[in-house]
Structure 1
Amino acid sequence: SISLFPCSLPIYLLFSPFLSLSLALSLSLSLSLSLSLSLSLSLSLSLSLSLSLSLSLSLSLSLSLSLSLSVALVNHSCCPNVIVTYKGNVAEVRAVQDMTPGEEVFTSYIDLLYPTADRNERLRDAYYFTCDCKECKTKSKDKMKLKVRKRNKPPGPEEISSMMRYARNIIKEFRSAKQIAEKYQKTPGELMEMCQLSLDKMGEVFEDSNVYMLHMMYQAMGVCLYMGDWDEAIRYGEKVLKPYSVLYPPYSMNVASMYLKLGRLYLGLERKLSGIDALKKAMAIMEVAHGKDHQYLIELRKEIEMQK
Structure 2
Amino acid sequence: MFKLLARLALAAAAVLPLAGQAQDAIKLGYAKCAHCTPLALTPANASNVKLEAIAFNTGNDVLTALLSKSIDVAQVTYLHYATALDKGFDVVAISGQINGGSQILVGNDLPLAENDWAGLKKLIADYKAQGKPFRVAASRGNAQDIHMRGAFAKQGIDINKDVQFINIPNPSDHVQALRRGEVELICSVDPFATQIREVKAAKFFTFPYDQAAGKLTNLIVTRSDVISGRAKGVEETVRSIIKVNKLMESDKAQFIDTIQKVTGLDKAIATGAAANLYPDYAMHRASAVAIAQMMRELKYINTDVSTAVEKNMDYRFLEAVTGQPKTALGY
TM-score (norm 1): 0.24
Structure-2-length-normalised TM-score = 0.23
